[in-house]
Amino acid sequence: MFAGRRVLVAVTGGIAAYKVCEVVSTLAQAGASVRVLLTEAAERFVSALTFATLARARAYTDADFWSAEHGAPLHIALGQWAEVILIAPVTAHTLARLALGLADDLLTNTVLASSAPILLAPAMNTQMWEQEPVAAHAQTLITRPRYHLSGPGRGRLACDAVGAGRLSEPAVLLRHLGSLLWSGGKQDLAGKTVLVTGGGTREFLDPVRFIGNPSSGRMGIELAAACAHRGGTVHLVLGPTHLEAPPEVDCHPVVGAAQMAQATFALFERAHLTFMAAAVADVRPSQIHIDKIPKNQLGNRLTLEPVEDILLELSRRKQPWQTLVGFAAQTGEDWLVPAAAKLKAKHLDWLVANRVDLQEQGFGGDNNQAMLLSSRGDMHAIPLMSKLEMAHRLLDRMETPA
């Protein structure tokens, strides 16, 4: 989703500047056109040459401030060129200058000469981050439509303090940049509560065996992140997965279908928009054995019973102000027939159907394609794209009520 897009990365003077190298490298490898701008303090941590090499393009410093680019002053040329701006790490000093609208170096002049959305990624000592003026400056900035905040995360810092102040991980920053490039930073879900389920469930037969499926939870994770980036208050009920939940959402980890049902039912009554992207088991063992069953006895011990239909129960509880979206993983040439039947039988507003028997899409992959069906009978084809892009495409389409 970065191919051909124009990303300006501004680096300020913090030890976490080294992490931004991975962001720049990944953007360039993904086909983005990347320009890097370093403050004087940033050059004490990572050189302009390093960033220029990773970006495959020139990196700019304050020494370039009085130069021109394509016939225009550099700060104006860069500001008008950028589709999105990442400032990372953001120091306390930089937060203050941005909040006050100062224009005393190349970075602050470029920000004022641009209308592009800006992703701020603060990183500093915990005591510094928690100081009242720093918090006030951060709050001032995020109330302005252009500014969006990522982090800071919690953990052990370079100064050995433990608490808030860590720079968001590169993958988190890249996902948020992708959302801003798609949506332009609009906050159409502000004031809305969103519920997303994701991942598969594990229905245990004994301590070492379970009935499950290959779902990685990536579609639910990307949906949750996209909704949070667009201003929603997001709850993610997530089955077992090797993937990390987005730090912007409230994650509720579960294992089995019964746990997923309990968590989902508790959160659903406050949700304006619900995406049921989890691959919930249809059946489970009728008995969970305390000890491992001998291999030669499995055939006699494996008896199954149906699992509660969470989606159908949600449709019974749904209020007129709520929107309920189901997912259907299908196979075969007639894959849309059962999907359409599921939409009708479970009284859904929308259903996202996709084939999981095709290469490079479905379970576990980074990409997917689907057909979006509405209760009005509309069908919208979504071509192969990243699951984050698909999440935004679904949200854009659902702006028109079903």
Alpha carbon of 108 to those of 43, 46, 87, 91, 94: distances in Å? 16, 20, 11, 13, 9
Catalytic residue among 21, 159, 227, 251: 159
The residue type of 339 is A
268 is in an annotated binding site: no
Is residue 292 annotated as involved in ligand binding? yes
* Spatial separation of the C-alpha atoms in residues 322 and 317, rounded to whole Å: 10
- Integer Cα distance of 145 and 134 in angstroms: 19
Annotation-wise, does 327 bind a ligand?
yes
Distance CA 228, CA 234 (A): 6
- Would strands 323-330 and 273-276 be described as parallel, antiparallel, or unpaired? parallel
What letter does residue 200 receive in the DSSP assignment?
B
3-state secondary structure of 118: strand
Q: Catalytic site residue 227?
A: no
Tell me whether residue 19 is annotated as binding. no
Cα–Cα distance list, 164 to 124, 158, 161, 228 (Å): 8, 12, 9, 20
Nearest-angstrom CA–CA distance, 35 and 32: 10
206 labeled binding residue = no
Give the burial class of 361: count Cβ atoms within 10 A of its Cβ; 0-12 exposed, 13-18 middle, 19 or more buried: buried
Cα within 13 Å of Cα(1), Cβ side: 22
DSSP string for residues in 135-173: HHHHHHHHTSTTEEE---EEEE-TTS-EEEEEPPPHHHH
Q: Where are the alpha helices (DSSP H) in 163-309?
A: 170-183, 218-229, 257-268, 298-301
H or E segment to which residue 204 belongs:
strand 203-206
Q: Give the residue numbers annotated as catalytic, written as ranges.
A: 159
Q: Which residues are annotated as a binding site for CTP?
A: 282, 292, 327, 342, 346
Q: Which residues are annotated as a binding site?
A: 282, 292, 327, 342, 346
